[in-house]
Amino acid sequence: MQQQVFINDMRANFNLRRPKGDKPTNIYFVVRVGKRQLKLSTGVKVYPDHWNVRKQEAYISVRLSELDNLNNTIVNDKLEELKMNFAEYKQYLCDHPSELDRGVELLKKYVYKNNIMESQGLVLNPISWLEENIKEDANLTNTGRNSTKNQYLSYLKKFSKFLEVKGIEIKTFEEINSKLLSSFRDYLANDYVFIKKGKETHLKRDYINSLIIILITILKRAVEAGLLENHKYVDIVVKPLVDKEDDENEIYLRDEEVLLLYNYKPLNERDEMVKDLFILNCVTGQRISDTEKLDDVVNNVSGIDYITLVQRKTGKKVSFSLVFELAKKILVDKYNYQLPECKDYLINRHIKRIAKEAGITGTEIIQEHRGSDSDAIQLIKERSECITTHTGRRTFISLLKLRGWDSTKIQRYSGHKDMQMVEKYCKLKDIDYELYERNKRLYPDKLLKLVSETDYEGVLEQKSISQTIIPCKQKVKVLDYLFKEATLLKLQEYQKNGINIYKLKETVDVINAIKDIKRIDKVKVFLEGIDKTQLYERVNVLEPIIYKIARHNLDIVLYQLFQQKVVELKLSDSIKEVTEEDRINELWAMDYADKELEFQDTEPETDSEIL
C-alpha cells in the first residue's frame, strides 16, 4: 500500500553546532525527510550570543559593531536563500509526487543548487579548496610557526607532495578514501625523508599516525560544506602504524633545574625573553600560546592576583591564581603584567641551548620508532636536548603532584578537559618522590616556593575585605549541599572508565539534591557578602555532568532547576539564565543526531547525516 505524504508537515529549522560557545559556530539546516533527519551545512557562522533562536536569524542591532552587523547580514541573506530553496523543493515534490522516493537526493540538489561544484560542474581541486578553507577559518590559531593553522597547511602540503610524487590527480573529495590515505601513510613511513643535523631522517611513527588522523579531521570540512557525503566520510578508516616508542620519552624539570634557569643571566634580550616565558610556562601550567595572554585580565582580590583567560587551543575559559612565587616575580615584579611577545617556534629553537648554558645536565634514555623500522631504537640524549615548549606544562603538573595535589585540583589551573590528560602529563617516577622529600628535608632552598605555604586551593573563600574569611571546608560543603559536587565528580570518573552511572544510587542522590528547592534559601543566607566569583570554575565543571544525567533521563526540569539555583545564587559567569524547554529539546535532538553519526548507524530509517 502506498504511503501518504503531507508536504506541509516537512519542516526545517536552523541549529547552531555549538550554541554555548563564545566563538563563531557553524549553522546547520536541519530537515526531516520521511524517517531520516539530515543536517546540512549552510556555509555560514554566527556568534552564539548573536543568534535569535525564536526568529531563526542573526541579530542586527545598533549595539553591535559595524563588522558584526555586516557578518550577520551575510548570515541572514544566506538563510533566506536556503528557505526559498527549501520552499521550491517542497513545491517540486507537490508537482512531481513520483519523485518522492528521491526526496533526500533532491533536497541536496535544491539546497546546494548555487554551490559551484554542484551546479556548474567546474573542476575543483580538493586540496586547494581545503587550503583556502583553513586559511579563512578565524577559529584556528594562526600565530607562530606551530600554530594549528600552519600545522594543518603543512600536513596538506605533505599530502599534495605525495600526490605529485605518485602521479595521482584527484578531482573530487570522494577520491580521498581509505585506500589513498593508507598509501599516503606508507609513503610517509618508507619514502619521505627530511634533513636533521645534516643527516637524512625518517618521520617518527607517532607523528605519521597523528598526521593521518588530523588529515581525516580536516576532510570533515568538505562534509560540512556539502562537498562530500557523510556516509563516504565515515567509511574512511586507516590502520595506524605499530608504534613501539616508549611513552616515557618526555621529561619534566625538577625544582632545582627551574631555579637554575631563573638565576641564569643570558647575554642578550632575546634569550632573556625566551627564558622568562618558558619559566612562566613551567610555573603557571599554561601553553606557550596562552602564556602570552597571562596579562589579559588580572583581578586582585584581597592582595591575591586572579588571572582569567580563554585558552587559544580549546576555547576554554579558565580563572586561576598564581601558585608559585617565581610566577609572581616574573609576571608581576619584572614585567608588571606587560609580557613581551615571543612565538613558540622561537622558544623551541633556543631553549635547549639556554638550558645547557644555565647548567642543566644529565642524560635521558629515550626511544624512537621511525619510518619503516620494525623496532624502536634507544638513544641517549642530554636532558637539555629533551626540553621543548611542551616541557613547561609537564613540569607544572609534575611539581604540583610532588606536593600532594590531586588531578582535580591541578585541572582547575591547567585547563585540561579531563583528569586523564592531567595524569598523562605527569612524568614522575619513584626516584623523583625520593629526591623531592630529601631536598625538602635537607635542602629546602632548592625547592620552588608557593605563593602561600598553607593549603592553597586557588579558590579563596572569603567575605568582603572588611569581613572575616570563611574556611575552605565550609564552602566545599555548600556545593555538596546544593549539587552533591563530590559525588558528581566521582560519577564523572566512573563514566570515563566505561561504567554506566545512570543506574547507580549515587546518581539518584544527585537528582534528589538538585530538585530540593528548599536548599536555595538556606544557602542564600550563608553566601551573603561572600565573593562567589571564586566558585565559578567549579560550578562550570559540574554543568556538563548534570546536563548528561538530565538528557539521559529526559528530565528537563532537573537541568532547569540546576540552572535556576546557579542563576539565583550567582554562582557562574557563563550560566546567566534558565534555558527554555523548547531550546533544551532542540539541543538534545542535536546531541542524539550527533551520536548517530558517532556510532555510524547505517539503518536507513534512523540515519542522521551531516552532508
Q: Looking at residue 50, what is its pLDDT?
A: 94
Lowest mean pLDDT among 271-280, 343-352, 438-447, 579-588: 579-588
What average pLDDT does the segment 61-68 reach?
89
pLDDT reading at 249 higher than 80? no
Highest mean pLDDT among 84-93, 136-145, 310-319, 587-596: 84-93
Question: What average pLDDT does the structure give for the chain?
Answer: 79
Q: Looking at residue 286, what is its pLDDT?
A: 77
Q: Looking at residue 427, what is its pLDDT?
A: 74
**Structure confidence at residue 195 as a pLDDT band (50, 70, 90):** confident
**Structure confidence at residue 139 as a pLDDT band (50, 70, 90):** low
Q: Looking at residue 465, what is its pLDDT?
A: 28
Give the whole-angstrom CA distance, residue 103 versus residue 115: 19
CB 157 within 8 A of CB 215: no
CB 584 within 8 A of CB 554: no
CA atoms within 13 A on the CB side of 475: 23
pLDDT reading at 59 higher than 90? yes
* Coil/strand/helix, residue 202: strand
- Regarding predicted confidence, which is higher, 549 or 603? 549
CB 515 within 8 A of CB 557: yes
Instruction: Tell me the β-bridge partners of 202.
Output: 193
Give the whole-angstrom CA distance, residue 559 versus residue 548: 9
Burial level of 307, CB count in 10 A (0-12/13-18/19+)? buried
Distances (CA, A) of 312 to 143, 186, 208, 287, 492: 10, 33, 25, 9, 25
What average pLDDT does the segment 211-231 reach?
86
pLDDT reading at 528 higher than 80? no
What average pLDDT does the segment 154-166 reach?
93
Q: Looking at residue 254, what is its pLDDT?
A: 94
Q: Looking at residue 339, what is its pLDDT?
A: 80
Lowest mean pLDDT among 187-191, 346-350, 454-458: 454-458
**Structure confidence at residue 399 as a pLDDT band (50, 70, 90):** very high
According to DSSP, the β-strands at 193-196 and 199-202 are antiparallel
Which residue bears the cell 580563572?
A: 319
Instruction: Tell me the β-bridge partners of 404.
Output: none
Q: Looking at residue 118, what is its pLDDT?
A: 43
Q: Looking at residue 362, what is its pLDDT?
A: 93
Which residue bears the cell 625520593?
A: 434
pLDDT reading at 431 higher than 50? yes
Highest mean pLDDT among 11-15, 36-40, 331-335, 524-528: 11-15
Q: Which three cell numbers stand for residue 487?
A: 559525588
Q: Looking at residue 463, what is its pLDDT?
A: 31
pLDDT of 82-92, one tens digit each?
Answer: 998 888 888 88
What average pLDDT does the segment 319-335 reach?
82
E-strand stretches of 302-434: 304-310, 317-321, 363-368, 377-382
Highest mean pLDDT among 313-327, 343-357, 466-480: 343-357
- Regarding predicted confidence, which is higher, 318 or 90? 90
In the chain, pLDDT over 90 holds for what percent of residues?
24
* Coil/strand/helix, residue 135: helix
Residues in the chain: 611
Tell me the CA end-to-end span of the chain in Å, nearest whole number.
Answer: 31
Give the whole-angstrom CA distance, residue 245 versus residue 253: 21
Which amino acid is located at 260 in the chain? Answer: L
Give one DSSP letter per residue of 361-380, joined into a string. Answer: --EEEEEE-BTT-SS-EEEE
**Structure confidence at residue 124 as a pLDDT band (50, 70, 90):** low
Domain limits of the chain? 7-121, 126-243, 248-446, 472-579
Using CA of residue 158, residue 227, residue 606, residue 178, what is the dihedral sign?
A: negative
pLDDT of 294-310, one tens digit each?
Answer: 545 555 555 566 666 55
Q: Looking at residue 462, what is its pLDDT?
A: 33
Q: Looking at residue 586, what is its pLDDT?
A: 64
CB 205 within 8 A of CB 242: yes
Give the whole-angstrom CA distance, residue 49 versus residue 72: 12
Give the whole-angstrom CA distance, residue 319 versus residue 341: 21
Q: Looking at residue 385, what is its pLDDT?
A: 92
pLDDT reading at 42 higher than 70? yes
According to DSSP, the β-strands at 193-196 and 304-310 are unpaired
Instruction: Tell me the β-bridge partners of 31.
Output: 12, 38
Kindly give, in sequence order, each residue whose CB lies less than 8 Å from that of residue 447, ignoring residues fewer than 6 positions away: 255, 256, 436, 439, 440
What average pLDDT does the segment 230-255 reach?
85
* Coil/strand/helix, residue 11: coil
pLDDT reading at 194 higher than 70? yes
CA-nearest of 447, 469, 459 to 324 is 447
What average pLDDT does the segment 507-525 reach?
85
Secondary structure of 195-250 in HEC code, one letter for each residue:
EECCEEEECEHHHHHHHHHHHHHHHHHHHHCCCCCHHHHHCCCCCCCCCCCCHHHC
pLDDT reading at 226 higher than 80? no
Fold category of 248-446 in CATH: hpI Integrase; Chain A (1.10.443)
Lowest mean pLDDT among 32-36, 188-192, 536-540: 32-36
CA-nearest of 582, 584, 604, 607 to 595 is 607
According to DSSP, the β-strands at 199-202 and 51-52 are unpaired
According to DSSP, residue 246 is labeled: -
Burial level of 136, CB count in 10 A (0-12/13-18/19+)? exposed
